[in-house]
Amino acid sequence: MATFKDKLKLIESEGYLRKRDVISLTTSSHTQIRDKTVTSFSSNDYLGMSTHRDVISELKKSASQYGIGTGSSPLITGYTQSHQYLEKEICEYLDTESCIVLNSGYMANLCLLSIYDKEVNVIQDKESHNSIIESSKLNKIKINRYSHLDDSQITKHISKDNDILFSEAVFSMTGDMTNLKNHLNIKRKFNTQLYIDDAHGFAIAQKSSNNTTIETSCELFGMKPSDADAYMGTFGKAVGTIGAFICGNKDLIEMIIQKGRPYIYSTSQPRCMIDATRKSLNILSLDKSRYKKLHENITYFNDACKIKKIPTNLNQVPIKTILLGNPHLALKVKELLLEKKILIQAIRYPTVPKNNDKIRITLTSDHNKKDIDNLLNTLENVICEKYT
Ligand SMILES: Cc1ncc(COP(=O)(O)O)c(C=O)c1O
């Protein structure tokens, strides 16, 4: 049997070895890494809320009042008034019947499918986030996967009422978007359930002008979170804290409390973090300036990519990727940019399918035009001229 050492050597030689860089000071747009201060295009803190003064003050205030740990899972003593308020507030923001707050988006997706004890069919895009894939491996779940974004294959996988179409609204590793309106039509026509993972759309997806609540990608697709059977959003990205929520009807949320093992058997989030999340959401619901700045940055980036012919997706989302198709090349481009004090990520198999290795750029509201120009000029030189 191959030893761990042998296996690790093989992973390294194939270009797939993962390493953790130690980060010292960081904001959503600047980071200290390997003793250098660099412009970061790697954070999902899209609105810079993780360093918002008022959010930090709220966390400190709550920690001084209630301490920093809940000491147990939500079904013991870990469900505080702040957790309850946050669930109520999310229902109000999104106009949904019921909500449950969980420790992470990964946990939320695991919970969603751990409530089934009868055989159930789940239909999902082949490039779904790992948490959707792993959650589908629980229990007696039959996974049916269709080619990336090819909705025409969905209906042939539907075998009975209540099959679950589990859709990622904005794909974390490509910035591609699911046509949720179409998925909603499929749900209505074939009586399937629709579960939406909106980790990268919640609170930032472009909205219609008359929306007055926290923006959602559902709005972008002309639907509401309550049209879905389950709508999942995370706090670790645009909200700048940590955790996640699921909205649905009362019965679905009650089933998660009864059967969602990752929820039942894990210590709940600290109350001070929940209060920080509440504060962040409150600020985002009132002040649209960060949201507007982010979208200005996305438009600026997209327009420049068109002119410079940089091959990336032009969706109105902050996730931009450039396909390189080779893990060694993806790492090399990352290092070349780091030499120029720009941090982007090399995304390799198995996070993406083999030969889909790429670099991933995330834009935030904290970037300015100079940061983006510098990134684009460097990308143009490093990638367009040398490697594509
Ligand atoms: C699409 C998607 N779903 C779920 C998650 C998990 O969320 P969390 O980081 O809160 O565990 C992520 C995280 O990157 C994601 O991209």
Handedness of CA 63, 67, 73, 78 (dihedral sign): negative
How many Å lie between the centroid of ligand 1 and the Cα of residue 198?
9
How are beta strands 230-234 and 193-197 bridged, if at all?
parallel
How many Å lie between the centroid of ligand 1 and the Cα of residue 242?
10
Chain centroid, CA 204 distance in Å: 11
What pLDDT is recorded for position 136?
A: 83
CA-nearest of 247, 282, 363, 368 to 315 is 363
Residue type, 361: I
What's the average pLDDT block by block, 10 residues per block, for the chain (388 residues)?
94 94 89 94 97 98 97 97 98 95 98 88 95 84 93 95 94 94 96 96 76 65 91 97 98 97 97 98 93 95 94 94 94 94 95 94 97 94 65
Check pocket membership of 236 for ligand 1, CB cut-off 6 A: yes
Check pocket membership of 345 for ligand 1, CB cut-off 6 A: no
What pLDDT is recorded for position 209?
A: 55
Check pocket membership of 262 for ligand 1, CB cut-off 6 A: no
**Closest residue to atom 14 of ligand 1, CA basis:** 172
What pLDDT is recorded for position 218?
A: 78
What pLDDT is recorded for position 386?
A: 54
User: Do residues 319 and 200 make contact, with C-beta atoms less than 8 angstroms apart?
Assistant: yes
What pLDDT is recorded for position 157?
A: 96
Check pocket membership of 125 for ligand 1, CB cut-off 6 A: no
Specify the residue for token string 């980036």: 301
What pLDDT is recorded for position 147?
A: 96
Residue among 135, 171, 172 whose CB has most ligand 1 atoms within 8 A, to mutate: 172
Check pocket membership of 168 for ligand 1, CB cut-off 6 A: yes
Task: Detail the DSSP E strand segments found in 191-264.
Answer: 193-197, 230-234, 244-248
What pLDDT is recorded for position 118?
A: 74
**In order of start, what are the domains of the chain with their CATH numbers?**
22-46+288-385 (3.90.1150.10), 53-286 (3.40.640.10)
How many Å lie between the centroid of ligand 1 and the Cα of residue 134?
12
First to last CA, the chain: 40
Q: How far apart are CA 342 and CA 36, in angstroms?
A: 10
How many Å lie between the centroid of ligand 1 and the Cα of residue 239?
13
User: Do residues 217 and 177 make contact, with C-beta atoms less than 8 angstroms apart?
Assistant: yes
Q: How far apart are CA 202 and CA 181, in angstroms?
A: 16
What pLDDT is recorded for position 305?
A: 94
Check pocket membership of 129 for ligand 1, CB cut-off 6 A: yes
Check pocket membership of 41 for ligand 1, CB cut-off 6 A: no
**Closest residue to atom 2 of ligand 1, CA basis:** 199
pTM: 0.95
3-state percent helix, strand, coil for the chain, nearest multiple of 5: 40, 15, 40
What pLDDT is recorded for position 213?
A: 56
Q: How far apart are CA 288 and CA 360, in angstroms?
A: 26
Check pocket membership of 201 for ligand 1, CB cut-off 6 A: no
Specify the residue for token string 């629980």: 138
**Ligand 1 closest atom vs CA 128:** 1
Q: What are phi and psi of 256, to 5 degrees?
A: -65, -40
What pLDDT is recorded for position 180?
A: 93
Check pocket membership of 48 for ligand 1, CB cut-off 6 A: no
Residue among 43, 104, 131, 245 whose CB has most ligand 1 atoms within 8 A, to mutate: 131
Which tokens hold the place of 382? 């490093």
